[in-house]
Amino acid sequence: AQKVTQAQTEISVVEKEDVTLDCVYETRDTTYYLFWYKQPPSGELVFLIRRNSFDEQNEISGRYSWNFQKSTSSFNFTITASQVVDSAVYFCALRIRGDSSYKLIFGSGTRLLVRP
């Protein structure tokens, strides 16, 4: 069975701190895709990044970086020098190529509060 676990329910940091959001996934498929989405207080789901199972190269985009490690089945997300606008719920998700519905399997989300 496929599963995504985000063990951190809520994280609170002070502005300018670095913060890492953890994501652990389970699948027996060899081809899969991992995603991060942001849900700000306004409620929409905003796509942040997609990574396929054959590409373990880490990625950096501005203050955001992602660390993908197949050995530990983890796809962690780090925000450097956090800002108040980063306050949101962040979801990690898994999509399996062998799943005919192509659905995203979401973790339960991590609520990040960045205090000024």
Partner 1 sequence: DAGVIQSPRHEVTEMGQEVTLRCKPISGHNSLFWYRQTMMRGLELLIYFNNNVPIDDSGMPEDRFSAKMPNASFSTLKIQPSEPRDSAVYFCASSQGSAGNTIYFGEGSWLTVV
In the complex, the residues that contact partner 1 under the rule CB under 8 A are 31-33, 35, 37, 42-47, 50, 52, 91, 95-97, 99-104, 106-109
Contact between 63 and 78 under an 8 Å Cβ cutoff? The reply is no
- Structure token pair of residue 80: 């450097």
Least distance in angstroms from the C-beta of 10 to partner 1: 14
Q: Which 3 state secondary structure label does DSSP give 105?
A: strand
Helices (H) and strands (E) in the chain, counts: 0, 12
Least distance in angstroms from the C-beta of 38 to partner 1: 11
Q: Nearer Cβ to partner 1, position 3 or 115?
A: 3
Q: Nearer Cβ to partner 1, position 9 or 71?
A: 9
* Alpha-carbon gap, residue 116 to 48, rounded angstroms: 23
Q: Nearer Cβ to partner 1, position 4 or 79?
A: 4
The residues that bridge with 59 in the sheet, in sequence order, are: 66
Least distance in angstroms from the C-beta of 108 to partner 1: 5
- Structure token pair of residue 103: 């659905």
Q: Nearer Cβ to partner 1, position 61 or 116?
A: 61
Least distance in angstroms from the C-beta of 9 to partner 1: 12
Q: Which 3 state secondary structure label does DSSP give 70?
A: helix
